[in-house]
């Protein structure tokens, strides 16, 4: 495990790191930063050091204005990013949505900065590494949608960050069941079936074709 790096006082683009914020689940370190424009924002170590976060969002607002796009939200209603924003709002605020029980009903909210301002969400997304094929993921699965608690990840990383994901420690490493399946070359169904009846050591090391005590494996 690497040593902690204090970013206090350092500059990243237009941001100056002021202080460390409470660490989220899974040890994700966050920082309170002041932008040159005077606004404050909270972001993560990785976003700062990778260059994905260089301002509070004002940098992309200025870029959009320079290109004449600042007030062109209506032109983006058909884009993938607009649908991500719209779907986020629907599952958090519409009780009729099929996904409401897993978001809105659990108290998951959207920050005031994004709630009614697609441009603000778009600017954050572009400053935070958005690309087609990536998913909007909350770092703390019980936290709200906000710049300090969101990131763009692959579908696999997002799947591993759900409340239902089971993480298993084995020989000094901890991974989700799906990740172990890929690492070991054993089907998820097989591992799941084994873990109901065997120890982790047995489930992960037992040869696929060696039945033990009438145990039937799904291979």
The dihedral sign for the CA sequence 15, 16, 21, 24: positive
Q: Let me know: does 215 contact 209? Beta carbons within 8 Å.
A: no
Q: How far apart are CA 51 and CA 47, in angstroms?
A: 6
Per residue of the chain (219 residues), give pLDDT as tens. 456 788 999 999 889 999 988 776 566 788 889 999 888 888 888 878 887 778 887 776 676 665 554 444 446 777 888 989 998 999 999 999 888 888 899 899 999 889 888 888 988 888 888 888 788 888 887 889 998 888 887 765 555 555 455 677 877 777 777 777 877 888 877 887 888 888 888 888 888 764 444 344 333
pLDDT, position 25: 58
pLDDT, position 215: 40
Residue the block writes with tokens 């605020």: 93
Helix, strand or coil, per DSSP, at residue 15:
strand
Which of 147, 132, 158, 157 lies closest to 39, judged by CA? 147
- This model's pTM is above 0.75: no
């Amino acid at each position: 495990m690497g040593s902690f790096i204090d970013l206090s006082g350092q500059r990243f683009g237009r941001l100056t790191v002021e202080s460390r914020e409470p660490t989220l689940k899974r040890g994700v370190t966050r920082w309170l930063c002041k932008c040159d424009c005077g606004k404050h924002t909270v972001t993560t170590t990785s976003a700062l050091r990778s260059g994905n976060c260089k301002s509070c969002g004002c940098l992309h607002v200025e870029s959009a204005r320079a290109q004449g796009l600042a007030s062109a939200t209506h032109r983006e209603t058909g884009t993938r990013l607009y649908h991500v924003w719209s779907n986020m709002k629907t599952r958090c605020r519409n009780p009729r949505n099929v996904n409401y029980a897993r978001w809105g009903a659990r108290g998951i909210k959207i920050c005031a900065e994004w709630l009614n301002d697609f441009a603000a969400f778009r600017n954050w997304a572009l400053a935070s590494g958005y690309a087609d094929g990536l998913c909007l993921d909350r770092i703390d699965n019980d936290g709200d949608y906000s710049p300090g608690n969101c990131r763009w990840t692959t579908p696999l990383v997002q799947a591993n960050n759900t409340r239902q994901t089971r993480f298993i420690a084995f020989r000094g490493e901890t991974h989700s069941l799906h990740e172990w399946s890929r690492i070991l070359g054993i089907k998820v169904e097989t591992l799941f079936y084994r873990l109901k009846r065997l120890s982790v050591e047995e489930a992960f090391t037992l040869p696929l074709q060696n039945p033990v005590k009438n145990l039937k494996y799904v291979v």
